Amino acid sequence: MRKLITLQNKDNLNYYLIAIRNKLEDYLFAYNLNKGPFFNFIRMNKDLSCVVNHGSVYFATFEYQNRESGQVSFLIKNNSFFEEKASGSDVLFNNYSIYKKITLLPELKEFDYFLKLNGIWKAEEISQIRQYLNSLESVESEIIVNINSIGSISNLIF
C-alpha cells in the first residue's frame, strides 16, 4: 500500500523580496546603497551557501539590522560560480577547471541581487526604497517578488 506524504513548509515567509538588476560588484553596490538613508550594510561573516555537485557554492551576503525598528535587511547576490573539473579522455579541455554559473533563484536568473526585508515594513517605506533604487544610476530595474510563486524560495531561508 502506498502512502502519500505531504511536506509542509512551516518556515516563516513573512518578508519582502525585491529583485534588482545591477551589474556592479557586490561591495560597490552595497556601498552605493549605504549612501542612502535606508541601510548600513556590512558583509556577513558567512555568505549564504548551497551545495552543488558535492561542493559548496557561496553567494555574497550583506546584512543591516535596525535595532530601533526591529527590521533586518539582507543584500544577496543571485549568482555565483563554481569550479568543475573536466574529466575523461574525450574531453577537449582534459584536466582543466571549468567554471559554471549558478543562480540562487533560477526563476529570477535575469536579476543580479535581492533585497530581503524582514520585519514590519510600512508600504510607504517599501515605496521609498524602490524610489531610491530607481534613482541609482547602476540599477537597471527592480521588482517586488511574489515569494509564494517561487519554487526555490527555500534557498533564501537562513
Higher per-residue confidence, 11 vs 144: 144
Query: What pLDDT is attached to residue 141?
Result: 96
- Residue 155 predicted with pLDDT over 80: no
- Residue 8 predicted with pLDDT over 80: no
Measured in whole angstroms, how far is the alpha carbon of residue 50 from the centre of its chain? 12
> How does pLDDT run across 50-81, given as a tens digit for each residue?
776 667 889 999 999 999 999 999 999 999 88
Q: Which of 73, 81, 43 is nearest to 60 (CA)?
A: 43
When the pLDDT of each residue in the chain is averaged and rounded to a whole number, the result is 84
Domains of the chain: 15-156 (3.30.310)
Percent of residues, the chain, with pLDDT higher than 90: 56
Tell me which residue has cell 525598528: 69
